[in-house]
Structure formats: structure tokens, C-alpha cells
Amino acid sequence: MSESNEESSATSASPAKSLVDSPTMTPPRPINPPPPTVWPFVTAVGMTTCFWGVELNLTVICVGAILFAVGMTGFIGDWIREHRSEPT
């Protein structure tokens, strides 16, 4: 009985080992998160200021819209620069 257990464990171990040692498998690329930036904060402040402007006046809406646009431009610019430098 112990011989059959040894054979079955040896048989089940060899397919796993052959997959790891296979030359066609490549290790996964490391996932590097982007560095922290100020752009999400600027975008959120701009959006919040826009909503305050609905209650206050048009000038506050314009300031909020400008902040929002600057924040989104920076956010998208960072994303484009990061993906442009990534190897394919």
C-alpha cells in the first residue's frame, strides 16, 4: 500500500515541476504602482468648488472649473507619460 502512495505522489509532483521548469513560461512582470501625485486632490477641490459656486455665485463656479480642468490635465498628462515610457 505504501508503494502505491509513493507512486501517486511522485506522479502528481512531476507535472507541477515540469510546468515550473518549462522554458516557455516567463516570470510575470512586476506591477509598479504609479507614484503619488497632487492631481486627484486638485481635481476634487475643483469639483467641490464648482458645487459651492452653485450656491454662491458664477465666479466661484469658474474658479472651480479652472481647478478641475487643471487637475484633469495633470492627471491625464501623468497617465500618458507613464504609459509612453512602459515597454510593450
Query: Please, are residues 74 and 37 in contact by the beta-carbon 8 Å criterion?
Result: yes
CATH classification of 2-27+36-85, choosing from 3.40.50.2300, 3.40.50.300, 1.10.287.70, 3.90.650.10?
A: 1.10.287.70
43 vs 64: CA distance, rounded Å: 9
pTM (whole model) above 0.85:
no
pLDDT at 79: 86
Angle between helices 39-55 and 58-85 (to 10 degrees): 160
What are the pLDDT digits (tens) for 16-69?
555 555 567 777 878 777 788 999 999 999 999 999 999 999 999 999 999 999
Q: Would you state the pLDDT for residue 50? A: 96
Q: Which of 6-15, 53-62, 74-83 has the lowest mean pLDDT?
A: 6-15
